[in-house]
Structure formats: structure tokens, C-alpha cells
Structure 1
Amino acid sequence: MNSTAAVLGRVVSDLDGSIESAVRSSGLDGMSDAEKLEVLRLAGEAQRRLDALVTETVACVDGRPTVSGVPTFPAVFGCRNMNELLQRVLRVDASGASRVGKAAEAVNRNAEITTGARLPARWPGLREALLDGVVGIAGLLAAIDPIDRTRGRIDGQDRLRADAALADCARGIDDTVADPGGADAETDAAEARRAEAGPAATPDDLRQYAQLIATYLDPDGSAPSEAQAAVNRSLTFGRLRDGVYPIRGALLPEVYAQLKLIIDAQTNPRTTGPADLGVAFTDSDSRTSADGAGSIDSAGTLAGSGSAGVGADMGDALPGGCGSPEDPFNSDPRAVIDSRTRPQKQHDALATALSIAARHDDMPSLGGAAPTLVVQVEASDFAHGTGWAHIAGADAPVPVSVAAHTVCEGMIQRVLFDEGRIVGITTTDRLFNAYQRRAITLRDKECIIPGCHVPASWCEIHHVEEHSRGGPTHTDNGVPLCYWHHRTIDISGWQIRMVDGKPQIRGPAWWDPEQKWRTPRPLLPEWVGG
């Protein structure tokens, strides 16, 4: 009887022979495209089966406690732990070894305490798919990670149902075929689905399907997911090296999708390429353009209708700005109103820049229009403010609150669904047009939240009374909110109302214990020359 090690030894020897004849002797060069594809297919089959063998071997290693007096499995071979042993034996890095260990935990069958019999694996369906060579370690982990991230909010029965559905997906089986009823009929239906199985799923396919399953099994998970995503967002810049600045960060799904749309528009072969957005320098005598937009004079100073020069203090330039003695509520010297870290602020600045760039006249079009972010949401979820939405181009769903937040921008379109049927599409008539934006910008100057001094021209225009609830798209119902405050307005404790067409703010109790409605920044007295 051949041992497993002996069989694998022969496999390695045969592979050496194949490499010698196909690679070292340039045998691959003479193959047709079909033959090369078959080599890749069979190599993948072999690799997945080796993944199964490695995973099951690691899974069957007994976990001897270090206090038992018996050396642990890694210690027997001079290693501190299993990760180090796998790195040395498999010649993978620490991350690769961790992935093997996690896969082994997923397929491990613990022994029953009294009889010693093996219990089912935590993921029995996916384990069978692994043993059959349908998935490898990458596919197994892609399938289980989204479910595991629910942190136990999905019970064991639902997890097993998810396991069976993911195993069918991995095999290319259509799990939507109706069950005719009865045990025999159920078996027949399962065999029919297997007989008509399509192409096997890739790890990305499994990950997306698992995310969809997790979304429906854990509908209340959007709040912690959104909070964790908000903490994780960042954008950092490295030091100049070889003439460039490295960028590192973690983008929220809607920001990633918007950036990808803009990049697609710029790189689309059907466009004429990126516009020339060079800085134009003008004489200081002709600083203001016809439409009031700012320009840069020959001294490098920003000019415009009522704007201050670059380098001037923004708080001095705007009424009620930071440090303005007229407005005791519009300063934040201890940064308690805006607690974002610098990487988080830089991420939000990028999100603002992307939103502005997407609606810029010089942005190349995609499909005959400016790059438009499409947000899909179920009408019932949107009405209740709970559940999930889907952004075209982003792999994972986002909370419905993100859908409500994003649709105030002109280059974002919301599509409402009811069990697959389109029941509503946002159109540009519910968005503030350029003339309204300019008027609101002139009135409010900055983000309406006290202590936040993002210029109104960079902000998103927020419907104080939600448009879906009858709020008009009118200057009396719109205020500027920066990206972050717009995203968090429903949960941050800040409240906004309009009185005679002018905004008022009521802040959270920690900011204003009296909980009074206040003018965001005081108006200039009448005696000030106008």
C-alpha cells in the first residue's frame, strides 16, 4: 500500500519531468493556445488539491497544551508555533502561513469527548468542495470571511445554510431552482442542479456572494459596519522619494467607487484624454472673472468676489470665522467638535475633491454623461432608514444612510427597487442647480456646523427637510455641509432648521447644555458699510 508521502514524492518527480520538458527545453513555445490553456487548467486542479491536502494535514494536528509536558507538534520540529513551522516547510510568508491556519480551523473536525468520533466541520459543504478540488485556500477563505465578520450575530443553522449555498456557488450550481417537495424530489432536484452546473466560481465570486448572504442574514449589522468603516478611513502622504510622493490610505466604498469612475472616464479610449487643468495667471487689475469665480494673479494670490488672498487667515476673511469675537459658538480651539484624525480629514478632502471633479465641465463623459455614481437601494429599506444599499463599482454593500447622504450631489443617482422592480429614480430636478448653490454659498459662507470652516463652495448642499418627505429644492431649504458633517448629520446630534429662509443650528448637549437654537454665525451689524 502506497503511503501519502510516497505518492506525493512521485507527483513531485513527475512535475520535475514536466518542467524539464516543457520549460527548460522550451516545449511550451511549441504549444498551441489551447494546449497552454489546458496546462494552466490542470495546474490549477493540482494546486487546489494540494491546498486541500495541506489544509487537512494542518487541521488534524492535535492541539497539545504546552503545560501537558508533551512537546507540541511545532516544538517537536524545533519551531515555536505552527505559523513558524508552516513558513519553513511550505516556504510561505507569515501571512500565507496564517491563511493556511485559518483554512484549517474552518475544516477541522473536532473529536467527540466520549466516543472520540469526528464531529462535522464548521463549514462541511465548503470542506467537501475543498476536498473535491473545487476551491483552494483562497476560495475557502473568500467564502467564509464575510460570514465570520458578523461576529456571531448569525446562528449556527443560518451558517450551515450559508455554507451549503456557498458550496453550490463554488461548484457553479444554480441554487434558485424550485424544490418540487418531498425527500426524493429534493434529492432529484439536487442531482439535476449538479448535472446542469455552470462554471465554478472564482474567489471574488464567492466573496461577493458571501457578502450578499451576510447582508441579508445580518440586516442590523450596518450600524457597526458603518462605524468601523468611518474609523478605518484614511489618506496619508509619504515623503518625497525619487521625485514623487507616495500615497497610502483606506477609502470608504462610495469614495472608492467615485474615484474609480473618474479614473475610468479619464482613461476611456473613446475620450480625448484628461483636460489641461493648468493654473492661469492674470494681471492683478483683472482679477475677477465675469461669473465671480476666483483667479490667481501674477503674484500668486487668489482673487475673486470678496475672497481673501492665499495665506490670509480664513477666520479673518469670513464673518464669524474661527477666532471671530462676534461668535462665541463658532470656534473649536480644543478640537472637540471635529475629532477626526489628520488621515481621516485628508480622506474626506479627497472625497470632496472627487465630488467636485465629477461634476466639472472638463471631466470626460462616460456613456454620454459625466461620471455618475449609481446607488441601488430597496424602497422599504430607504423609507425605514435601515438595511443596505449597493453602489455600482463597489464590491461590498453600504448602509442605507450612505445612500441618503450621497444623493444630494449632482453626479450621484439613486435607484429605488422593490423586489427587483425599479420604483424610483432620482433626477436632476431634485438637486440644487449651479445658481442655487452660488446663492447658498454666498449666504452661508462655510459648512453650517459651528466650528467647521470648510468653504461652502467645497460643501454639499443638504436638504434641511428631506426631499423624499416633501422638502423643496429651494434656497430656503438648502444649507452647505462638508462631506463629513453631511454624512453624519443624522447621528451626530446636530439639528438644522430654517426660519424665514435663514438656517439655525441646535447642537448636542455636550456642546450646548442649554440646547438652544442658534444662528450658526452672527450677521454683520447694520452700521457696517455694505
Structure 2
Amino acid sequence: MSVVTWIIRGMSSPIDLLAEQAGALAELIRGMVSAGADSTLDELLSGAKDSTVLDLAARLGQIAKLTDAAAVRVAGEVAKRSDRALAEPLAKRLGEKSATHVLAHTADVSPTRAADWCRVGEQLHARTALTGEPLPSLRPVVADAVDRGLIGLDATRVILDALRAVDPFLSLDDLHSLETSLVDQAQLLGLLDLTKLCRSLPDILNPDGIEPREEQMRELRSMTVSTKRNGMIRAVIESDPESWGFIGTALDARVAPRRPVAFVDADELDNPDQAAADTRTLAQRRHDALVSMARDSLSSDTGDMSGTPVTMLVTVSHETLVSGIGSATIFGIDEPISATTARRLACDANIIPVVLGGDSQPLDLGTGRRLFTLAQRQAMAIRDGGCVWPGCDEPPSRCQAAHITPWHEGGPTDLTNGALLCPFHHRRFDLDGWTLEVHGPERYLIPPIWVDAARTPRRIITPRLAA
């Protein structure tokens, strides 16, 4: 039986339809159970026909729509009884802040879901005239479709938002026609396509065009920064489309960069190295891309901060810098960093370690001898072609010139002791205990024993032209 045949036009209450669909679902499950009385639901489903499984999914989806429809009606009534204009609002009598909180606690659902119920319920709830006469819902077509389970809660919210946005530009008749059309489209389109359609309506119907909405979004742009209890820095960005065009394109370029082709052996393609694999999530890669953009900005910024070129200052005691044990601090950030991280940051010319004596007075602002020269970096760029980590495709411009034998352990600042590593793999190289060995013209990354008990060398594949 199709979903359409479930809808009984004569029934106006979602409760009636919900009861009918729940009964039909129960009958279907009883039929399955009779075929295997001692089986679990998983066992019943695994042995069921495709048509039976899909029928169950369709019925459950319809029940979910009707459950939300009933919840929306209940939420509308709770919101009505919690109106602050009343002498004793329901929410106040229950000690709750709002109707949303009443529903969240009473129905044991998330505040977000309760808020959606209330938001839709208030717009679809029947109204009362000043004379006390009952009036239909402000959106009668949407209300009827929700009650009959024709559209779900998410689609309803999208349609109501669109109608509210275009209300100032349309007559009552045109608005009613649009409401009917959107309800029809919601039954044909997926939620994503319906959302795109509804978002385009204000730009199409607003006689002033898209510019006013663009300006409104620009006014709403923001970036908030806060420090969480665990020391993590939380940044939340809300961007208008134009601004995000720059940010998003730059992030995408770094999350999925392209660099010259490296020719690898067939066995390396058939047996990818899991120990050297990049296991970062997409969210982590985006974060690292943003850090990379900030590094580039600092390296090219000619502005001043307190009369000096823009830099990131890392304060660290002399004892900590020598021993590698202890902590350091990035100027302006309360959460400390490890001495190992401070040493790694010292590889960037635009990041200066401020070495402090016992009395916390600056002894030194770093030394240029630890840094590879521009000519050395250019030679590494030609030799390495980018990050030397197997499988990494970060180009030379986004890599750091890393010391193979650390500078603070006496490693020289020359080409034989240097290699290009992106910030992520530079961190892995230093912290995980990887080493790099040279055997004639070939170079190999050697993993630590806890990554690979056999410490199998990973040959560094550099881009080269075909002969």
C-alpha cells in the first residue's frame, strides 16, 4: 500500500491518522512475528523481503510526520497558555522560562526540537478575533498539510520562513497561491531542493532586488572568540556569502591543494602506507588550513605592532629552552604550550622566541642562525617539491623548513639537515619520534617503534619529470 492511500481526506485530526497508521504498522509487524515467533527484530528484518522493509520505513516516516503534527498542535496550545499577557501564564506557574522549556522537560526532548514545535505551532494555531470569534490559522494550507501528514516538520518550517519573508511584497491572494504552490512542491522535492527554492523567493519577489538582503547579511557578520574550560579556544564565524566566498575558496584550496605529479611504484599504490596516512578529519584539515592562511599573512604583513613588525611572540625560560622540559606562553593567550611546541614554532622566521632569565626578564629575541635562508628554502623547494611526508601534497609555500637533527641539539642549518614539512607533519615528526635517513640519493622516513614495530623505512617520493 502506498503512502498516498494512507491519507484519508475526511479526517482532519493528526491523532486519528496517527492511530490508524500505528495500527497498520502493528499489523505488519504481527505478520512478521508470526513467521518467526522466537526471532528478534533484527533477525526478522534480515529475513524480510525488500518490499516489506521499505514498507516499514515508509510507515515509520509517516508516523513520524503525524507525531510531529500532533506535537505542533500541542505546542501551539502550550504557547498560547504561556502567553505573558495572561494573568497566570502556564510556563510561569510551572516555574519554567517559556513554552519551549515546558515542552522540553515534559516531553523529554531537546530544547531545539521543542523550540521547532513551538515555532511552527504558534504560526499554525487557530486564532481568536477581538470579538472572541474563532478564526482559522494564518497559514491554513500549510496547517491542513501538516495535520494530514503530507509534509514533515522541517519542510513546514522552511515554508513558513519563506512565507514570512515575502509577506510584505505580496497581496493576500498571491500569498495564498504561493502557500498552496509551496505545499505542493514540498511533496515532490527533497528538503534540500525545497530549501533552495524557498531561499530564492525573497530575492525574486522583492521589488528592490537582492541588495537589501545582502546588506542585512553584511550587518549580521560576526566572529566571536571565547576560551573553554579545557583551555581550547572556540571561534564562531557568521559570514555573509560574499565574505565567505573568499574564506571558503581559500580554505578549499588548502584542504585539497594540487602539486606536481610524483611518480611512485605500483606496489606503493597497491599497498598504501597506513602508518604515514593523514588521519585528520575534514574539520581538522579546515582548521589547519586556516592556521596556514594565518601563517602566510604574518609572514607577508608589513604592518607594525607597538613599533615592531607584526610577529607572534613566544615567551620561554632559558632553562626550558635548553632542557626541553616545561612550558612556554604565546603572547596574548593564557593557556600555556609545551617546550617542544615552542621549539617547533621557532622554525618560523615570523615567530620569535622571547627567552627569559630567572627574573623573567627577556635575555634574547631568538637568533637568525637557527633559520634557513631564503636561498636554502628555495633549494629545498626544488629538491623536495613540497612536504616530504608520504601522501601529503602541501606545496613548498605552505611548508616549514625543518631541522632533521634539532637545532637545539647541535643540528646544523644546512640543506643536508633540512627538509620541507607542512605544519601538521612537522608536528608529527617532532612529537611522534620519526627520523629521516639518507642513503645515497634516496631519503627515507623511519617511524618510531610504537607506530611500526619493524620500523620499516618509508621512501620519500619527490616530484620529478619523466625521462
TM band (smaller chain): 0.3 to 0.5
Q: Which structure shows the bigger proportion of residues in helix conformation?
A: 2
Superposition TM-score, scaled by structure 2 size: 0.44
Superposition TM-score, scaled by structure 1 size: 0.39
